[in-house]
Amino acid sequence: MKLYVGNLSKQVTNEQLNDLAVPFGTLISAEVATERSTGQSKGFGFIEYTEAEAGRTYLISQGVTADQVIPIAIGHTTYQSLQAATNEMQRRGLHSAFLVSDPWHNARITAMAGDLGIDGYASATWTSAAESETSRGEGYLRETFAYLYYRIFGD
């Protein structure tokens, strides 16, 4: 989850922005935007948290207590993330999960979860970056090929 941070003092450094953001979640990056020619701050920047942290924040905002949410910030691919979640679930004796993702991604994540020994129940989210019919169509096409690739070659 990437967030815009505005109204920064021109003296704020990347390190200071990082220090401000760390207490609020698992941080990927914190960067102050600068002028290319001078390197001077533009007075804004971006902080990026892991998807695990974004999910945790959302669930807590919806009333789930913090002690019931376990963000697992491991993995750079869907399969790696599911492997990490599977390990934690097995450690806790859990065997099923709701898998929330874009609708075109659900077939692949459900198959991956099943291959990892998790009973996965897909739940499509209708809030995503893909808002136009074209971008949704591209998502379905991309995931069709990603699903076929996964079925043929694995992760």
- pLDDT at position 69: 86
| pLDDT tens-place string over residues 95-143 | 999 888 877 788 889 999 999 999 999 988 766 555 677 777 887 888 8
Q: 74-153 has which CATH code?
A: 3.40.120
Per-domain boundaries in the chain: 2-49, 74-153
- pLDDT at position 52: 78
- pLDDT at position 41: 94
Distance, CA of 155 to CA of 149 (rounded, Å): 9
Average pLDDT over residues 50-55: 76
- pLDDT at position 91: 93
- pLDDT at position 83: 93
Global pTM reads 0.59
Please tell me the CATH superfamily of domain 2-49, with its number. RRM (RNA recognition motif) domain (3.30.70.330)
Q: Which residue has the higher pLDDT, 91 or 144?
A: 91
| pLDDT tens-place string over residues 71-104 | 887 877 888 889 999 999 999 999 999 888 877 7
Distance, CA of 140 to CA of 96 (rounded, Å): 25
Q: Are 75 and 84 in contact (CB under 8 A)?
A: yes
| pLDDT tens-place string over residues 9-41 | 999 999 999 998 887 777 888 999 999 999 999
Task: Identify any residues that bridge with 113 across adjacent strands, giving them in sequence order.
Answer: none
- Residue 52 has, within 13 A of its CA and on its CB side, a CA count of 19
**Model confidence at 148: pLDDT above 60:** yes
Residue 1: band (very low, low, confident or very high) from pLDDT cuts 50, 70, 90: low
